[in-house]
Amino acid sequence: MRHVLSLFDLSTAEIQRVLELSRELKQGVKDGKRPTMLANHNVGLLFEKPSLRTRVSFETLTTQLGGNSLFLGEDVGWGKREPVQDFIPILTSYLDLLVIRAKSHAAVAEACEYSRCPIINGLTDVSHPCQAFADMLTIQENTAGLADSKVAFLGDGNNVAYSLAIICSRLGVEFSLGAPEKYQFDAAFVKDLNDSAGKELVKQFDDPAAAAEDAEFVYTDVWTSMGQEAESKQRLADLADYQVNEALMKQARDEAKFLHCLPARRGEEVTTEVIESGSSLIIEEAENRLHAQKGLVVWLLQEANG
Ligand code: CP
Ligand code: NVA
């Protein structure tokens, strides 16, 4: 059974296929078409952390495709009320698809082992593949060509940056992380991506201006992710020089666009001027969560596990 725990679970051709389905299904909604591919299907959303975009986009796409979604919060007792060896097989025997947002990536990997239906990672401490699909859909819609594009991610080399680096390198897009050394990716991860791409698409800089140079898309995320609240003061101090502001945007291409997975903390990782500027694509990017995940769900249920 195929799951989407990380983008490493898909080949490059499969990533491209998901994006192709996403574009077709997005156009379909605009043309008034709502194919009922999930009719009589039950999609579970098991969430250990708060969410607006991930939860609502999965609930909405399930409804648009004719299925039913079930939101499952703390009260179901995952990891608390009974052993995972009982909890996951029972839960997934009721469902056709399970989306999990978890504190621990290892816990989602363990759930995949015991699952009786496909699982999609809806964010862990390590990765956020659904976000990366929506980001790439947005990049494709706003660039003349991926081969000449460049994405610069400023700030913490976190779950969002990790998945974005994978999807960029798989699709031949240059990706620079601008972060202090202790917030950068593991060297082995970068080497692995560049070896697979056959060229040095992924680079890391501790100088934010060097990372942003010639970028077509400038991306940032919060400096303190969910679960890291105790480190917030230290992170604020360590990452202050990596804020995306008008001066930083000037290091990028003239028509560079701004991206953010959201939620944002204005005045920290990004200024109000930049996030509200004409170059900001944040609303389109958030809308694309719906379309990209729809492509992912259809691919996973009909093609990967069909
Ligand atoms: N970007 C994102 O995953 O948003 P939520 O945390 O609101 O789901
Ligand atoms: N890096 C953030 C992303 C939120 C969508 C977090 O994990 O909290």
Percent of the chain residues topping a pLDDT of 90: 99
Based on the domain organization, do 156 and 267 belong to the same domain? yes
Based on the domain organization, do 156 and 90 belong to the same domain? no
Give the number of the ligand closest to the Cα of residue 157: 2
Query: What residues act catalytically?
Result: 101, 128, 131, 221, 261, 289
Per DSSP, helices labelled H in 145-257 are 159-170, 187-197, 208-212, 232-239, 246-249
Taking residue 219's Cβ as centre, other Cβ atoms within 10 Å add up to 26
Q: What is the pLDDT along the chain (306 residues), one digit of tens a residue?
A: 999 999 999 999 999 999 999 999 999 999 999 899 999 999 999 999 999 999 999 999 999 999 999 999 999 999 999 999 999 999 999 999 999 999 999 999 999 999 999 999 999 999 999 999 999 999 999 999 999 999 999 999 999 999 999 999 999 999 999 999 999 999 999 999 999 999 999 999 999 999 999 999 999 999 999 999 999 999 999 999 999 999 999 999 999 999 999 999 999 999 999 999 999 999 999 999 999 999 999 999 999 998
Under 8 Å between Cβ of 215 and 205: no
Based on the domain organization, do 177 and 110 belong to the same domain? no
Based on the domain organization, do 104 and 37 belong to the same domain? yes
Provide the b/e sequence for 146-164 (b: ≥16 CB within 10 Å): beebbbbbbbbbbbbbbbb
Q: Which domain holds residue 269?
A: 143-280
Note whether residue 138 is domain-resident: no
Q: How far apart are CA 265 and CA 192, in angstroms?
A: 32
Find, among 43, 123, 49, the residue nearest to 91 by Cα.
Answer: 43
Note whether residue 185 is domain-resident: yes
CA of 53 to the centre of ligand 1 (A): 5
CATH code of the domain covering residue 110: 3.40.50.1370
Total domains, the chain = 2
Note whether residue 136 is domain-resident: no
Note whether residue 190 is domain-resident: yes
CB of 159 sitting under 6 A from ligand 2: yes
Under 8 Å between Cβ of 174 and 238: no
CA of 51 to the centre of ligand 1 (A): 5
Would you give the DSSP letter of residue 152? E
**Atom 1 of ligand 2, nearest CA residue:** 225
CA of 40 to the centre of ligand 2 (A): 32
**Atom 1 of ligand 1, nearest CA residue:** 261
